[in-house]
Amino acid sequence: MNNSDDKLANRNRRSFLTRTLVAGGIAATAPLTSNALARPINSPDTASKAIEPFYGKHQAGIATPIQRNTYFMAFDVITTERAELIALLKAWTDAAAEMTQGPAHMDKNADPEQAPKEMGATLGLPNSRLTITFGFGPTLFEKDGQDRFGLASKRPAALADLPRFNGDQLIPERTGGDISIQACADDAQVVEYALRRMVSLMNGAAQIRWAQTGFTAGYKPNETPRNQMGFKDGTINVPTKDPAAMHQFVWAGNEGPDWMRDGSYMVIRPIRIALEHWDKMKLAFQEQTVGRHKLSGAPLGKHHEFDKLDLEATDKDGNYLIPENSHVRLSAPESNDGAQILRRAFNFDNGVAQIAERWPPWHQSVTFDAGLLFQCYQRDPRTGFTKMFEKMAKFDMLNQFTTHIGSGLFACPPGAQPGEFIGQKLFS
C-alpha cells in the first residue's frame, strides 16, 4: 500500500467490538469489528494506482481489503505427470507476480511471427490492486481412490470433503476443481485478463472446470456496501488487521501439515437468489428474515449499524427481537460455539436463465441468474463454515430465497517468497 492508501485505511479504521463467546463451555473473548478495512476503496486516484504485494507470509487476496471485481476459476489438472504440474505452478506463479506488481507492457521486439505473451487487454490500465490467489482442492490429492501426484499423504485433515447440506442443489459444472485461481481488482478488465493469461499458460496440463465473475457495489468510503437484496452486507467480520483474531480464526497453524502453515482454507458457494420473489416481500418480513433493519443496517430494535447484536432482547410479549430463524442470529458466533469466518463475498450476475418445470403448474419462465458468490476463509472449515452452515441450511429464513448451486473447497497455501512457486513446500 502506498502512503495515501495507508491514510485512507486509517480513516476507515473502526474500534473493535468485543463479544464474549462460549466455546465448548469455556468463555473466550474475541474481538469483532466492522468490516471497514475489508471494504473496497473506489476512489480512482488511490485505488487504481495501488499495488498489493504478491510475495509474503500470506497470499494476497485473503486479508486484502475487498476489491470491486473478481474472476474466480477452478481447474482440473489433466496431466498425469507431477513434473508438468510443478512446471504449470511455476509458470502461473511467475505470471501472477508479474501481473500484480506492475503495469502491463508489450515487448517492442516481440517476434511478429509468434502470438505475443502480452495480449494487450490491460495495456495502459493501472494495476487496480490486483491480487491473484491460488488454492488446491481435495481432488488434487486423491481422485477416485488414486494418488495422482504422490500427494495423498499430504492432504490436510481440514481439507475434508464438505458434507451435503440441506437444500443443496449443486451443479457438477459449478462445483469442485483441483486448483483454484482467483483474481480480484478494482477493474473488471484487469481481473478477466489475469485469468486469460493463466489459461494461456496451461499448455495441455490443465483445463477450465468452472468460473464465476463477481462485483461489489460502488459505495462511499466508510460505508458498508449493500448486496442485491438491498441490505448492508459485511458489517460484522473477522478484523483483518488484528493478528490475534486472524491467527485464531483464519490462518492455518501447526495443527496441520507444515506446507499449509500461514495459509487458509477457502469455501466458495455460488448462491442464486430469487430476486423476483424477494422484491415482492414486505419490508418488515425482509428485516425479520435478515435480523437487521434494511436502511440503517442496525440490528432489529436498534438504531445504528454497529450497535451490538443483542440476541437476548425481547419485545413486550417476550418474543425475541432478532427472530430465532433469522440469518444473523443463526450465523452469529454466539449461536455457533464461538465460530467465526472471514467473509469475502461478491455479488454475481450472469444475466437471466430459462426455467422449464414439468410438474404443475407446468410453467416456463425466465429468471435472474444472479446472487451471491459467497466466499469465506478459515483455519478449519469443519469448525468454520460447516459448523455454521449445517444449522443455517436447515433453519435460516433466508433459505426461502437462496439456492446453493455450486461449491468449492480449497487449501490456499501460504504466500511464496521470491524465487519460489506457490505451494512449493507441498512438493518438497
Ligand X SMILES: C=CC1=C(C)c2cc3[nH]c(cc4nc(cc5[nH]c(cc1n2)c(C)c5CCC(=O)O)C(CCC(=O)O)=C4C)c(C)c3C=C
- CB-wise, 131 or 331, nearer to ligand X? 331
- CB-wise, 88 or 341, nearer to ligand X? 341
Altogether, the residues listed in the chain come to a count of 428
CA distance 59 to 264: 9
Of 129, 137, 141, the closest CA to residue 61 belongs to 129
Q: Which residue has the cell 480513516?
A: 11
Closest contact distance (angstroms) between CB of 99 and ligand X is 30
| Tally of CB atoms within 10 A around 120 | 10
- Residue 122 near residue 193, CB atoms below 8 Å: yes
How many alpha carbons lie under 13 Å from residue 286 in its C-beta half-sphere?
Answer: 17
- CB-wise, 148 or 272, nearer to ligand X? 272
CA distance 252 to 245: 12
Closest contact distance (angstroms) between CB of 280 and ligand X is 17
Strand partners of residue 379: none
- CB-wise, 165 or 427, nearer to ligand X? 165
Q: Are strands 69-77 and 206-215 parallel, antiparallel or unpaired?
A: antiparallel
- CB-wise, 153 or 169, nearer to ligand X? 169
CA distance 327 to 339: 15
* 224 Cβ contact list (under 8 Å, min separation 6): 34, 35, 36, 39, 232, 233, 234, 235, 297, 305
- Residue 6 near residue 210, CB atoms below 8 Å: no
- CB-wise, 39 or 154, nearer to ligand X? 39
The residues of the shown chain that bind ligand X, judged by CB under 6 A, are 227, 229, 231-236, 271, 273, 290, 292, 309, 327-328, 331-333, 341, 371-372, 374, 385, 388-389, 392, 402
How many alpha carbons lie under 13 Å from residue 313 in its C-beta half-sphere?
Answer: 13
- CB-wise, 302 or 327, nearer to ligand X? 327
Q: Which residue has the cell 489433466?
A: 78
Q: What DSSP element (H or E) covers 283?
A: helix 283-290
Closest contact distance (angstroms) between CB of 149 and ligand X is 31
Closest contact distance (angstroms) between CB of 207 and ligand X is 28
Sign of CA dihedral 274, 279, 280, 284: positive
- CB-wise, 127 or 326, nearer to ligand X? 326
327 is in an annotated binding site: yes
Closest contact distance (angstroms) between CB of 404 and ligand X is 7
343 is in an annotated binding site: yes
Chain-centre distance of CA 43, in angstroms? 22
Closest contact distance (angstroms) between CB of 285 and ligand X is 14
Closest contact distance (angstroms) between CB of 176 and ligand X is 18
Q: Which residue has the cell 478495512?
A: 37
Helix, strand, coil percent values for the chain (each to nearest 5): 25, 25, 50
Closest contact distance (angstroms) between CB of 427 and ligand X is 32
**Annotated binding residues:** 292, 327, 343
**Annotated binding residues for heme b:** 327, 343
**Annotated binding residues for protoporphyrin IX:** 292
